[in-house]
Amino acid sequence: MSDVRRLTPRTDAVLADPDVAAAVERLGRDRVKALVADVLDTCRSGGLRPEEVVATVVASLPGSPVSLRRVVNATGVVVHTNLGRAPLSSAAVEAVTVAAGATDVELDLVAGTRGPRGEATLAALAAAVPDAGRVHVVNNGAAALALAACGLAAGREIVIARGELVEIGDGFRIPELLESVGARLREVGTTNRVRVEDYERAVGPDTAFVLKVHPSNFRVEGFTSTVPVAGLAGLGVPVVADIGSGLLRPHPRLPEEPDAATTLRAGACLVTASGDKLLGGPQCGLLLGDAALVLRLRRHPLARAMRVDKLTLAALEATLTGPPPPVARALDTRPEDLLARARRIASQLDAEVVTSQAAVGGGGAPGVVLPSAAVALPAELAAPLRTGAAPVVGHVNEGRLLLDLIAVDPADDAVLVDAVRACTS
């Protein structure tokens, strides 16, 4: 009797199968060939029949060319750092698709000569913040602040309140960031209190600027005092304000969150912020303010190292000019609408509906509670939902798994229902 393993198909024969060949076009030859080799080894060892090889390869193919997986954010945190912060709007996603090919990012199609990079994106940002004399975009919020410090304060002093020497996440600290580009820090006040007189005594000939940092990921309460931007504007030196979250205009649900427009009108010469938080766009850093100051930073050699690519420019432009991005829609959603959605979902799952308290997240609006609604399930479903074919991430509270809907796109309600059913069937 012949050894069935001798019937194991050859690698090129498996790769020639139409379904496998289509996967090669989508995922790349090396990746698919490695999977085929693994399946063929299983066949040769007797763990798989030869006629099952192709079907096993097709069933084992990844659904995406990247390791990242799409996740339904049911955590109740609108801007979740571990889930990539702000999800892009459909307009921004379309813009990224357009920008992925050859584009006129630095070409004047009419003149046939090199054109200004990101002109339309910068124009859209300037239109969104008319109080800024000029704007610039770099690759993240920390880069925006680092560029300001390097371009304006290398070898000089930055005056900053001790209570604003914050850690911004993953162990990175504002004072270390500023010192890494050659600036010296002149700390004023105490951890909980600082007065304008403290700044006045510190400002001198070697002062490059006064820095106002919004402590966006924590709150200090009790016996405290701070000096607003307007109180710093009369010190005779530039005021740079790092507002953190990228809110461009005031928002009624976030009354204590600083925004770019108000901060500039209060007297800041330069505002730095992130674009992937409350603005709801791609990861980037914004510099907004005095025209001469921003132009000086734009022409600084370090600015080249912080330049954003065409995908970021496209997504940011679409975020600024297109429909409200998901973050904005989540902040504006009425609690009663979320409750109605939760009831519809729960009725399909025989689950409980509860009111919940959501958060902004992403280092923005600490302590602000956003009224929301959630579907309550047994806590033991948290891991299966997280690791399922369509991952759903909720949060466990008081022994129950809550699937909060504030950051869930209504179009994903059916995905959520199917994911729960798959875990409970």
| Model pLDDT for residues 90-130, shown as the tens digit of each residue | 999 999 999 999 999 999 999 999 999 999 999 999 999 99
Q: How far is CA 72 from CA 99, 267, 352, 408, 411, in A?
A: 26, 41, 19, 7, 11
Would you tell me the crossing angle of helices 18-27 and 29-44 to the nearest 10 degrees? 140
Give the full edge-to-edge strand order of the sheet including 395-397.
Answer: 77-79, 352-361, 370-378, 400-404, 395-397
Share of the chain above pLDDT 90, in %: 86
DSSP state of 233: T
**Is it the case that residue 68 has pLDDT exceeding 60?**
yes
pLDDT digits (tens, 9 = 90+) for 272-324: 999 999 999 999 999 999 999 999 999 999 999 999 999 999 999 999 999 99
- Rounded to an integer, the average pLDDT of 373-389 is 95
What's residue 1's pLDDT? 44
Section 177-205 average pLDDT: 95
What is the per-residue pLDDT for 362? 78
Cα diameter, the chain: 97
- Report the topology of domain 72-83+328-424: Aspartate Aminotransferase, domain 1 (3.90.1150)
Using CA atoms, how far residue 337 sits from 1, 43, 253, 343, 404, in Å, is: 69, 54, 17, 10, 13
Say whether pLDDT at 4 is over 70.
Answer: no
Parse the chain into domains and list their residue ranges.
Answer: 4-60, 72-83+328-424, 90-323
Count of beta carbons in the 10 Å neighbourhood of residue 254: 18
**CA pair distance 270, 216, nearest whole angstrom:** 18
Mean pLDDT of 356-379: 90
DSSP H or E segment with residue 185:
strand 184-188
Element (H, E) at 64: none
At residue 216, the pLDDT reads 67
Average pLDDT over residues 201-216: 93
Mean pLDDT of 170-182: 89
Q: Report the alpha-carbon distance of residue 257 to residue 407 in Å, rounded.
A: 20
pLDDT of residue 67: 86
Q: How many Å apart are CA 229 and CA 210, to the nearest integer?
A: 10
Task: Take residue 374 and report the two structure tokens written for it.
Answer: 């959630």
Residue appearing with tokens 């304000």: 241
pLDDT exceeds 90 at position 64: no
Stronger pLDDT, 366 or 399, i.e. the higher one: 399
What is residue 193's DSSP assignment?
Answer: B
**Residues above pLDDT 70, as percent of the chain:** 98
Closest CA to 84 of 362, 367, 404: 362
* Beta carbons within 8 Å of 323's beta carbon, 6+ residues apart: 89, 90, 91
Average of per-residue pLDDT across 165-184: 88
* Confidence bin at 168 (pLDDT 50/70/90): confident
Q: Is the per-residue pLDDT at 253 higher than 50?
A: yes
DSSP summary character for residue 356: E
34-51: average pLDDT? 93
Kindly tell me the sign of the dihedral angle through the C-alpha atoms of 407, 280, 328, 357: positive
**pLDDT band (50, 70, 90) for residue 65:** confident
Q: Which CATH number fits domain 90-323: 3.40.50.150, 3.40.50.2300, 3.40.50.1860, 3.40.640.10?
A: 3.40.640.10
